[in-house]
Structure 1
Amino acid sequence: MKITGTKRYIWDAPKERQIQYLNYLFSRRSTTIDKSRYRVIKNIFQSASGIKLDDLDTTARKRLIMKLFYFKFKNSCSNAKYVRAGKKKGYENVKFLLGEWSSIIRNLKKYRPDLVELGIEICRKYIESGFAGEYAPVVHRIGGKGTDYEWNNITIIAKKEHDELTKKERQGQNN
């Protein structure tokens, strides 16, 4: 959708134009979110226009939340697979067993549909908070240190809660 007028970026455009853009973008089923589109959406919600989730139509709102959750889930899994599991100190014996990268969302829906609902709710709060990092959905291993990333022992929680649990876990190991 072409942006007309004197504004260079969509997040600088009037609120009505931003709403129109997001409604158009998420009216299509095939819309995916990548890093650059994520930044655009984040900038729109953080702009001075004060756009809220409820300003979007129902279909666009649901798809935005769902697609944003999938994006954040994949990023969290990417971090687990490529930064932590088997590489980072304290994760030497941890394996990433959530399946092939290309089918991770399909596997999420297949093996843990409860996490999809939970993640969507957390993602809604994340958007409503203005994309505050502490409310971002992240993958958390249930079972503590040394537990592999498997479908039966992960959950989705807000980053703030994840940091608190991780801090308590580390303090428990030091005592």
Structure 2
Amino acid sequence: MAEGLEPMWENLSVIQSRWPDNRLDLYLLKETLWNVLMALDYVHTERKIIHTNIKADNILVSIADSAILQQFEEDEHTYPSPRKFVGGRTIYQSRSWREPREYGMPMLTDFGAAVFGEEKHNHDAQPGAYREKKLSHKGTFGGGNWASETTPCGFDQAWQEKSRVI
């Protein structure tokens, strides 16, 4: 039995950089926060896993517009990407995507730094660049809901300005 992964578009950091003033569209921001919080609820409650590296780079948006994939395939066939051969492997230069007509579902990815939540851990909860000052101490964590407090860290200005109003 083979399992295939859904093709994903870009991460939230790249998408955010395209918007005026590096701010996400409010609908996309709300949809993303909802999906990330639902994903965290699932991995914490059902799987007892703590992600520990939540940031905009680790939130990918799925491809809802299948025409993007068709155009990508046609472009690759007509104008093949530059490539080089190193150590018996072929390395292709990345090709840019066109802007989609609609965004797909945002998904939390990169569980490489995840830990099991039922165990006690004595290390920093997130990489330094994304860690809130209040979480920068080393302490015991596990199983709690601390990650929901740090979710907005990766959303930079858009979230910080909105959170001041709340």
Q: Normalising by the residue count of structure 2, what TM-score does the alignment of the two structures yield? A: 0.28
Q: Which has the higher helix share?
A: 1
Q: Which one scores higher on RCO, CA 8 angstroms, separation ≥ 6?
A: 2
